[in-house]
Amino acid sequence: AAADKGAYPYYMLKEIDEQPAVMRRIQGKYLDNNEPKFDAKLIKQLTDATKLYIVGAGTSYHAGLVGKKLFEKLAKTPTEVVVASEFAYDDPIIEDGAMFIFLSQSGETADSRQVLVRATNEWKVPTLTITNVDNSTLAREADNAVTLEAGPEIAVASTKAYTAQIAVEVLLATAVGRIKDITAAKEIDLNEQFSQTANAMQVVVDEKDQIQKIAEDNLAKTRNAFYIGRGLDYNVALEASLKLKEISYIQAEGFAAGELKHGTIALIEKGTPVIGIITQAATADNTRSNLQEVLSRGANVINIVREGLAKDGDQIIIPSVDEIMMPLVSVVVGQLMAYYATLLRGYNVDQPRNLAKSVTVE
Ligand code: AGP
């Protein structure tokens, strides 16, 4: 069965490995002849929206951060991403033309539901839930629902749901952008990108030994660690650090590479692991200088760099796909890094302390 861990020691590892297949499944279900295929009413509502709000918690919030960049680039729709538990009690100014997108693996997160209730009853705006669980509360209560097709996710640490959420956001944003005649949306070859991304993910999961070794050398004993990056790489830094902290209990922080020098760099000591993510050409040099700054303060620098931007001495080189798809590839390294750090430190990967798979209280 899909929810059987088979020969795998932990569900998390199985779910990490499934990601290339999930990409292909999403491609099969939501792409037809290179055109995104969704309910027409949903695409009309999204296209008519003059402002999008993406709501989520934890990993789903992080997928929303990437979604903002996708909707702004591919569909040119202004997008705001909000943490559900904060937004639920804020006093936002919701303009006419707004639409709300809820990202939730489980579809049961109480914080997100609280925002959905207000969106429906108070702000009276169209809503969409993107979830991995078909008949979940958030799916039933929103005007529209799109299923992630990631298959059951059992490990508390979310992996394939994050990449599935981003994949679906790419398709939705492209669908809207093509109707709005946005060049970036017209130019992206979705079939090609999805196939290449699935292959690139496969390359990363096939290089587990290398990532395990890097985790052994850098994360076995450390008390803290940083992930840094800019733009989409920063978004992935946040997710990779959440993975690390929730299962390995390393105090990890995802940080905007350029912001580090404005204070947080004071935390860098001899041996502090700092993992830099470099997949975007426009910011690669700047992130490299930020890594240089921490290196000269004694940090153990590890970098994850996409082919084409790599230089001598880079540790983890990942295959290149369209830059907007790179989070789907780079995050897999972060997931595996967290997995191996946790094994090394002797904790239960699938069931971290203090955490439940879905959080149904506010
Ligand atoms: C991710 O690894 C977490 N365990 C957690 O942050 C999770 O993403 C969050 O609770 C939201 O859950 P949802 O996607 O089911 O709404």
pLDDT in tens, 174-218: 999 999 999 999 999 999 999 999 999 999 999 999 999 999 999
Q: How confident is the model at residue 2 (pLDDT cuts 50, 70, 90)?
A: low
206 C-alpha to center of ligand 1: Å?
Answer: 26
Query: What confidence category does residue 255 fall into, taking pLDDT thresholds of 50, 70 and 90?
Result: very high
Among the listed residues 62, 58, 118, 75, the one whose alpha carbon sits nearest the alpha carbon of residue 94: 118
Atom 5 of ligand 1, nearest CA residue:
58
Does the pLDDT at position 97 exceed 90? yes
Q: Which of 60, 66, 81 has the most ligand 1 atoms within 8 A of CB, as the residue to mutate?
A: 60
Q: How confident is the model at residue 151 (pLDDT cuts 50, 70, 90)?
A: very high
pLDDT at 4: 86
The two structure tokens encoding residue 76 = 């040119």
Is residue 277 pLDDT above 80, yes or no? yes
**C-alpha pair distances (Å), 120 with each of 2, 114, 123, 125:** 34, 10, 6, 6
149-163: average pLDDT: 97
d(CA 322, CA 344): 34
Please give all residues whose beta carbon lies within 6 A of any atom in ligand 1, as ranges. Answer: 57-60, 104-106, 109, 112, 156-158, 246, 358-359
In contact, 117 and 102? CB cutoff 8 Å: no
Q: Is the pLDDT of residue 149 over 80?
A: yes
- Please identify every residue annotated as catalytic: 357
Phi/psi at 146 (5° precision)? -120, 135
Distance CA 88, CA 159 (A): 25
The whole-angstrom separation of Cα 147 and Cα 37 is 13
Ligand 1, pocket-test mutation among 54, 130, 146, 358, most atoms within 8 A of CB: 358
* pLDDT tens digits along 30-88: 999 999 999 999 999 999 999 999 999 999 999 999 999 999 999 999 999 999 999 98
Please give the DSSP secondary-structure letter assigned to residue 258: G
Distance 152 CA to ligand 1 centre (A): 14
What is the distance in A from the centroid of ligand 1 to the CA of 102? Answer: 12
- The pLDDT mean for the chain works out to 97
Confidence of residue 3 (pLDDT cuts 50, 70, 90): confident
Q: Which residue has the tokens 């295929």?
A: 37
Which atom number of ligand 1 is nearest to the Cα of residue 56?
16
**Residue 350, both tokens:** 């699938």
Is-above-0.95 flag for pTM?
Answer: yes
